[in-house]
Amino acid sequence: MLDISIIIPTGCETSRCEVLNRSIDSVLSQKGVALELILVLNGPRVDDQVAEQLHQHANIRIIRLPDGNVSLARLAGIRAVRGELFCFLDDDDEFLSGALKIRVSTMRSIRDADVVVTNGLIREIEDQPMVSEAFAKDIKANLPKSILKINWFASAASTFRKAAIEESLFDFPYRYFEWTFLFFSLIANKKNLLYIHNITYRKYENTPLSVSKSDAYLLSCPSVLLDVLRLPISIPLKTGVKRKLCSALNAVSKLHRRRNEFLSAWISHLRCLKYGGWRFAPYTWTLMRGLFSAN
């Protein structure tokens, strides 16, 4: 049996060809593990010439989906997994040398771990660790609560034990913030998450291809957090999520205000107050000034 399956969802657009090849190379160059690479090409912008070149690669399995939805692409990849373990890599990120050997050996030595999460590097101008030595202690002290401070549960960070993780846990429609929802869903379903401080991946931030630059990314956050609140998580976690929700609704209200969409700005602001965001109450006067100046 294969040790591990790696799933890379990608729109496979012409503009992503260079970074996609970097991601693929970082997987296929891994040593000491029996692996398979599953590429899920999704959406209407797939470069057919690039797709044809990928089909000719003997070490890559290709799945093609018409809908450009990264969550559906990951689910399709999971359904095709043949490895004992599986993990993901975004098409603009990369694994570091020895990454998969560390993950496989950790999960084989700690058999009750359903998910192993590793540290990684964040590349902006230069590499910085996703998790500092100090914050690693916070994670180990209270893993669920720590995610409310820093989102260290990145797509490239985690390895899942196939026998312990139901496909249904990945069956959600989100295009953004899907890893936030997945983390709390795993906690709600009492999965055993283990954090280890080994650095195994590099994540590229603030690139022109980054989806986090889009307004759609910002606008989608409140609905995901509302769905998190519907999960059977602890009261302290729900309190922390509500605080995040209020911050997200305030950010959405500001976006609408910049667009001169004052009704939508007011709706988001009032929802923020409804969920306890009274620290944003002074922002009410900013909205009122904008409304008067518009008139």
Q: Do residues 219 and 79 share a domain?
A: no
Residue 85 sits at φ, ψ, to 5 deg, of -125, 160
Q: Are residues 136 and 86 in the same domain?
A: yes
This prediction's pTM: 0.91
Residue 187 sits in a domain whose CATH number is 3.90.550.10
Q: Based on the domain organization, do 178 and 283 belong to the same domain?
A: no
**CA pair distance 240, 159, nearest whole angstrom:** 26
Q: How far is CA 44 from CA 11, 41, 68, 208, in A?
A: 8, 9, 7, 20
What lies within 8 Å, CB to CB, of 41 at 6+ separation is: 10, 11, 12, 51, 54, 62, 63, 64, 65
Q: Which residues constitute the domain of residue 225?
A: 214-294
- How far is it, in rounded angstroms, from Cα 120 to Cα 199? 5
Q: pLDDT of 112-136, one tens digit each?
A: 999 999 999 999 888 999 999 999 9
Collapsing DSSP to helix, strand or coil, 40 comes out as: strand
One domain for residues 195 and 265: no
Residue where a domain stops, chosen among 181, 211, 241: 211
The model's pLDDT over 180-233, given as tens digits with 9 standing for 90+, comes to 999 999 999 999 999 999 999 999 976 555 555 689 999 999 999 999 999 999
Please provide residue 32's backbone torsions phi and psi, each rounded to the nearest 5 degrees.
85, 10
Residues 107 and 189 in one domain: yes
Residue 203 amino acid letter: K
Co-location of 71 and 154 in the same domain: yes
- Among residues 186, 211, 236, the one where a domain terminates is 211
Please answer whether residues 242 and 233 qualify as being in contact, where contact means their C-beta atoms are separated by less than 8 angstroms: no
Judge if 189 and 141 occupy the same domain: yes
The β-bridge partners of 116 are 159, 194
**Which pLDDT does position 295 carry in this prediction?**
52
Q: What single letter denotes the amino acid at residue 185?
A: S
Residue 248 corresponds to which amino acid?
A: A
Same domain, 207 and 223: no
Cite the DSSP H helix spans in 88-161: 99-109, 133-141, 143-146
Together in a domain, 178 and 250 = no
- Asked which of 211, 227, 256 is the last residue of a domain, the reply is 211
Same domain, 32 and 160: yes
- Statement: residue 240 has pLDDT above 90: yes
Instruction: Let me know whether 173 and 288 are in one domain.
Output: no
Provide the b/e sequence for 128-140 (b: ≥16 CB within 10 Å): eebbeeebbebbe
* 104 within 8 A of 196, measured Cβ to Cβ: no
How many distinct structural domains can be found in the chain? Answer: 2
Q: What is the mean pLDDT of the chain?
A: 92
- pLDDT of 45: 87
pLDDT tens-place string over residues 35-80: 999 999 988 888 888 888 888 887 899 999 988 889 999 999 999 9
Lowest mean pLDDT among 65-69, 79-83, 148-152, 284-288: 65-69
The answer on 242 and 170 residing in a single domain is: no
The Cα 289–Cα 181 span in angstroms is 36
